[in-house]
Each structure stands twice: as structure tokens, then as C-alpha cells.
Amino acid sequence: MRIFSGIQPTGRKHLGNYIGAITQYVAGQDRGEAIYCVVDLHATTVSYQPAALREAVYDTGATLLAAGLHPDRCIFFRQSDVREHTELCWLLSSVTAFGDLNRMHQFKEKSASQRELVSAGLFAYPVLQAADVLAYRANDVPVGEDQRQHIELMRDIAERFNARFGQTLVVPEHRIPEIGARIMDLQFPERKMSTSGGSVQGTVYMLDEPDVVIKKFRSAVTDSGTEVARSPEKLGVSNLIEILAAVRGTTPDEVEREFDGVGYGAFKTAVAQAAVTYLAPVRERYQALRSDEAALERILGDGAQKAREIAAATLLDVRRAMGVGAVRQPG
């Protein structure tokens, strides 16, 4: 079993990232050959500051290592250090339908927020994302619910390539957690928790201090009732139930039973305290990891070398299948 996933170095990582994706990365180290990267090339598809991007790569790398990734148990690298990603992206564009890209929800959402330029890179983002995964012939892709459409496109691209050029690429399967796949903003529970599009008070960051976390949960939007139960009319309460279930490793049904008749005040306090405990180990380890940029570079560099060995072999097979370039050995 080969596992692959990538994470953007944009913004501080929040509780939704941790529950929906990062905890899956950590668990993947015990399930198979795990490969993870910080996808800095994806971050260039929207307006950004170069110096800030470099800092964000270190921030993200340190956060994932603090959360439990270990370079001896997985391959962890920076996307731009492995040039096979961009070459495969171009080659895969020949079997990617323009109409499919035009229907991507994230392109529509992100392009609407770009005031100066909607880049071609933003439009082709899903092709590079497909290349990220297909370069490693990964079987399993742990992602959040919001990436489901991209994984389906990725599968279509692989199947279309294989149908046209012969069985070369592995068609991957997504792994979306049953609980916590889509954590919502605490202030606006109709939209997902987000660094870029969420509210400050409704976004719980992985590195928030305990008192900040508690304050955000205590001010979380609920409704005029008192019943701790999931309902389409109780989006805020439903979100808090989902969060507590994910943090505790239990089920929403069990949370509802435990807090039946308790009321929102005590319930929100319990969720807040559970989240503080859940995030504490990451926050405690992060500072030491982030302060040693030389060590972070060594980890990312060593990971890139290992990743290139796998990706280069895939590119050799893809080139041969497509009749592109001279026949050469990877390296």
C-alpha cells in the first residue's frame, strides 16, 4: 500500500486541517509506504509574497512534524524540489478535458476572489494535483471532504491515460474520514473552517494558546434552544458534536447521549477543553522544530531525494508510453 497526500503552505493550519487530513497522514505511516509533501508550487497560483512563501513552507513542515510525521517512517519533502511533478503535469494535460477543469468548484471559488489576475495555473491546479499523486503510483490518498471532486478528476485522468497509452498509472482511491471530514467555522457554521475565507473568531488554529481556544469555543454560534443534538436546523451544535467526536475518537451518537439535557454552556466548555488537550502536544513540539530551519531543510532535502527515485521511474514509463523524448534511465 502506497499512500500520498500534499498540503498547501498557505496560512496557519487549523483544527479542520488537523482532524480532516493531518491525523490521517500520521496514521498512514503505520498503514503503508507513506509519502507527503508541502505543495509550494500550488501556492503560486494565487497572489503571494515570495519571502512569505518560504517562511510558510517551514511553518507547515514544522507543524506536520510536530503533529507526528517522522522522516524515518515516511517520505516528507517540498514539492518544488522534485521536478518530475511539473513534467508529469504537462504530459497529463494532454488527457485532461478542458470542460472538466472548468467545472471544478475550487477554481470557481478562488478565481472569484482574485482581483488582479486569474492565472492559468489556478485553472490547471487539478492537473498538477493529479501529477503529485500519480507520479508515485499511490493507491491511497487521505484528504478532506472538499477534495473529493479533485480526486475523482485525478482518477479520470489516470484511466484516460491508461486507455490511450496502456496500463501505466495507478488509479488512486481517496480516504476521507467518516467523522470530521468537514469541520465548519465556529461563527459561520454554514461554511467550512478556513484560513483564507473563515472568520478569525471562528477558526481554531493548531498553535492557538489554550485561553484563545477556550474563548473561541465559548463564543461559538449555536441556536436559541438547549438540546445537544444534530439537526439541519442546528448547524453550529452539529459542528461542535462532530468536533468533539473526532477529537475524542468516539461517535456523534455517543456525544449526544453523554450531553443529553446538559445545555450548551457546559457542552461548549467540554468541547473547548477537549480541543485544548488535543492540540497541546503539537503546540509544545512546534517551537523547537520551527526554530531549526537547517534541520527542516535537511529533512525536506533528504525526502526529496527519496521521492525523486520513485517519481523518476514513473516518468520514464510515462515517456515511453507516450513516445516522448529519448529513452533514458531515471536520474
Residue 262 maps to a domain: yes
Residue 141 maps to a domain: yes
Residue 181 maps to a domain: no
User: In this structure, are 230 and 298 located in the same domain?
Assistant: no
User: In this structure, are 163 and 245 located in the same domain?
Assistant: no
- pLDDT value of position 250: 94
- pLDDT value of position 148: 83
Alpha helix stretches (DSSP H) within the chain:
15-17, 23-28, 40-43, 50-67, 84-92, 98-102, 105-112, 120-134, 148-165, 210-218, 235-248, 252-258, 264-290, 293-322
Vertex 202 angle, CA 201 and 205, to 5°: 85
pLDDT-flagged residues of the chain (< 50): none
- pLDDT value of position 315: 97
Query: Domain count of the chain?
Result: 2
Residue numbers of the domain that contains 273 = 210-287
User: In this structure, are 270 and 305 located in the same domain?
Assistant: no
Distance CA 2, CA 138 (A): 5
- The pTM for the full model equals 0.90
Decide if 98 contacts 153 (C-beta within 8 A): no
User: In this structure, are 218 and 110 located in the same domain?
Assistant: no
Residue 111 maps to a domain: yes
User: In this structure, are 311 and 258 located in the same domain?
Assistant: no
User: In this structure, are 108 and 233 located in the same domain?
Assistant: no
User: In this structure, are 25 and 149 located in the same domain?
Assistant: yes
User: In this structure, are 218 and 317 located in the same domain?
Assistant: no
Q: What is the CA radius of gyration of the chain?
A: 21
Residue 198 maps to a domain: no
Distance CA 164, CA 186 (A): 47
User: In this structure, are 235 and 159 located in the same domain?
Assistant: no
CATH number, position 277:
1.10.240.10
Vertex 116 angle, CA 111 and 117, to 5°: 55
User: In this structure, are 220 and 143 located in the same domain?
Assistant: no
CATH number, position 94:
3.40.50.620
Distance CA 138, CA 132 (A): 10
Residue 148 maps to a domain: yes
Query: Can you tell me whether residue 154 is helix, strand or coil?
Result: helix
